[in-house]
Amino acid sequence: MLLGEYRHTIDDKGRLTIPAKFRGELAAGVVVTRGLNRNLIAFSLDDWRDLAGRVKGLPWGDPSAREFRRRIFSGAIDLEPDKQGRILLPANLRDFAGINGEVVIAGMFDHLEIWNSEAWESVRQAAESDETHWEILGI
């Protein structure tokens, strides 16, 4: 499980250190792609295969499905963490998410979200102030 919120810094070479808690689950490799909110999303290889299979199964004739397929697959890169648990985020992905310096890595159970720290604060505050989220679960 990928849970929790961690602050890390991207170094001058574009490397991001994966939090120690997540390294075991991501040791075999990680796939990073563009997220849906000007952030990045990262998956273990197994979880990526699950997502990729669902995206691959979307109907070719649906323009929204084609657009989503382009967004997910064209921005994706498979990476292997180095011995220090770092991954090299390509410049195009860092630029897309406005990531440089401090970032937030947020566990989302089956994937990670990687955010510009200022953007994350805004998203987190909005999520925490919306009491209707519990209604989704019928609570």
Q: For 45-67, how does the pLDDT look when each residue is reduced to its tens digit (9 = 90+)?
A: 999 999 999 999 999 999 999 99
Residue 139: pLDDT over 70: no
Lowest mean pLDDT segment, chosen from 11-15, 79-83, 126-130: 126-130
Q: At what angle do helices 63-74 and 45-56 cross, to 10 degrees?
A: 160
pTM over 0.85: yes
Domains of the chain (ranges; CATH) run 2-137 (3.40.1550.20)
Confidence of residue 27 (pLDDT cuts 50, 70, 90): very high
**What is the distance in angstroms between the CA of the first residue and the CA of the last residue of the chain?**
23
CA distances to 83, 100, 124 from 8, rounded to whole Å, are 17, 10, 17
Confidence of residue 136 (pLDDT cuts 50, 70, 90): confident
The predicted structure's pLDDT at residue 3? 96
Rounded CA separation 71/114 (Å): 16
Mean pLDDT for the chain overall: 94
The predicted structure's pLDDT at residue 131? 72
Neighbours of 7 (CB within 10 A): 11
The percent of residues above 90 in pLDDT, for the chain, comes to 89
Q: Are 127 and 133 in contact (CB under 8 A)?
A: yes
